[in-house]
Structure 1
């Protein structure tokens, strides 16, 4: 049986980053991925993911974000390709809504430069938007997006260059801790390590029993639409955004990679189930839901459909992450589920996982992400 210092199970955003951070520290690392490297079955495809510093979800995320930005810049320099794109960000919704007030709270606590704009000001400054009266938005200039698919490949390329061993198309069947070691059983063999990082996204509860019923996969759909006025939706003129409306909570990107405006809806059609059972095929109902929001709030982007793509969120009840050691098995380190807002943190979470796997204390307060809170 092959023996490693650390095995990483699942090589999406978090796992690929952990492989790189461990390998650069001289650890003997094995990364195992059930699907292809850079696959379309999980949570990180669809070209890019938003990154933003004015974090409405909780001010405790902001220190992590500051480190994430630094690591994304380091990674793109080492990889020789741009991964982080700055557009500015808008957190928008009805005046007094949780998106606006949460963003303002993070800005105030962490001294972030920002501006509070009313709907008319947003629409005039960024004419790709059509916010209704009574809405407002927090503009923060550091927001943008990370090229998520390219970032995973960059992390794994750097990891391999630093000596990591990567296995794709190999399904992990069990993670078996015991006597201070861990055995990972797959459909191709058995491997042993002192530590295992489980970052299996929508499949994490299959391997970490205490997450059963607490890490719930949900089907999401992204849409790209051809703008009527493409110049309004370039990265230079259209900041990434979160927009809370009476129809739901939407998130938006400028045209990049695919020549179309990109939009998604948190919790989409509220379709939950096992990750293997959720459809990855977009439907007319998916398209209609997204198009209605484009027509109302981004009318100059309401052109022909260019692409639809389904992905997964894996949600906890409070929609905060899990970054912790498994209960009763400190050799098993659990990363994610990220509840649909995790990829931007992948660079720093990989570093944190490497700390935990090498018995270092991460320089962050991780209490918000404890496993124990889910048992309460």
Structure 2
């Protein structure tokens, strides 16, 4: 006898969605969360994340994005929560530059709906952005803002309403595969499950086999917020999400969902942190100075001093692609982590894949790029 068909370890961005999806497939699902769902120290923190259908990167993500978009709507309908605010999104960069060319190349590969905005069109439609000569944009009409705390708590509540059991404030000490299943220990107690999903983000490495710990690294991500001089100009109706690259400067951000504060954060500034429980939450003077300087250059309508800052742990892989699949062939432990700072937009889609595969309901093709086994050492011939 086991204590359930499936346990999900970590109920953050992906784990909460995997639990919700699994609860639709089985009445024998259990979730473990070290603190509480959407707690302030996880990678869920920071209120919002960008959702977008076009961006530079692997076009193989596009079908997952399409499915994720539909599943966000299903979660809203099931829970009555407003989670995804569609306000459009801008990718801003130099005409014929590396960034814009990469975005356009991805749209050509996927066929994603988009609109190219010339310098003049961008300046007229979105005057909040101070442009450099040659700046243009690609507009994504399906982009928007995801409310992270609301999304995670809604998914967990939906799972519980479907019959899932959730152990809050229960950090897992170990996961051990046996002939009878997978033994999960926490706080001196043990449970046995047929299968387990590890979705613990920056805390996942302690459960991983050696080849995956060698291929991953926990990093500290920073977030920053500013007050708009005129909040009405930065609401979702007037100010789309944005990602902007100019020379060595890069920043992304979201509109003022509270009608006051605008998220505007330096991109690509994650730095290694050996202990996810001890991530420095305060930003350094250099981090704040670079952020304020970039905001002053890009968005002069924001008052140039941070009104809120924070930092969170996130698990990165060597190639920047997620880990989705069993630890090894025949393993009962399934990995759903390593999203490298870009997983939330796809959280519902990845959660669905993880739940179906871990419960052996369905396998998915065309996602070899996320399988953990890509990091296995090549066998000598």
TM range (shorter): over 0.9
- After superposition, give the CA deviation of every residue in 1:140-159 in whole Å (9 maximum; x if it has no partner): 10001111110000000001
CA contact (8 A) 2:234 2:262 kept: yes
Distance of 1:72 and 1:40 partners within structure 2 = 22
SS of the residue aligned with 1:172?
A: coil
Distance of 1:233 and 1:258 partners within structure 2 = 7
Shift of 1:197: 0.2
- After superposition, give the CA deviation of every residue in 1:318-340 in whole Å (9 maximum; x if it has no partner): 21111111014521100021011
Partner of 2:14: 14
TM-score, normalisation: structure 1: 0.94
CA contact (8 A) 1:239 1:253 kept: yes
1:349 lines up with 2:350 in the alignment: yes
SS of the residue aligned with 2:64?
A: helix
Partner of 1:129: 129
Distance of 2:302 and 2:188 partners within structure 1 = 48
Q: For 1:141-220, what aligned pairs fall within 5 Å after superposition?
A: 141-179=141-179, 181-209=181-209, 210-220=211-221
- After superposition, give the CA deviation of every residue in 1:72-112 in whole Å (9 maximum; x if it has no partner): 00101111121011111112223344432232123222322
Distance of 2:11 and 2:294 partners within structure 1 = 33
SS of the residue aligned with 1:56?
A: coil
Distance of 1:168 and 1:79 partners within structure 2 = 20
Shift of 1:184: 1.0
SS of the residue aligned with 1:257?
A: coil
Distance of 1:276 and 1:216 partners within structure 2 = 14
SS of the residue aligned with 1:103?
A: helix
Partner of 2:328: 327
- After superposition, give the CA deviation of every residue in 1:292-318 in whole Å (9 maximum; x if it has no partner): 111000111134432112122321122
SS of the residue aligned with 2:271?
A: coil
Q: Structure 2: which 5+ runs fail to align? A: none
- After superposition, give the CA deviation of every residue in 1:343-373 in whole Å (9 maximum; x if it has no partner): 0111111111111112133444211101122
**Stretch moving more, 208-217 or 197-206:** 208-217
What is the RMSD of the two structures over their aligned residues, measured on CA atoms? 1.9
Partner of 1:368: 369
1:278 lines up with 2:316 in the alignment: no
1:110 lines up with 2:147 in the alignment: no
**Where does structure 1 differ by over 4 angstroms across 4 or more consecutive aligned residues?**
none
TM-score, normalisation: structure 2: 0.93
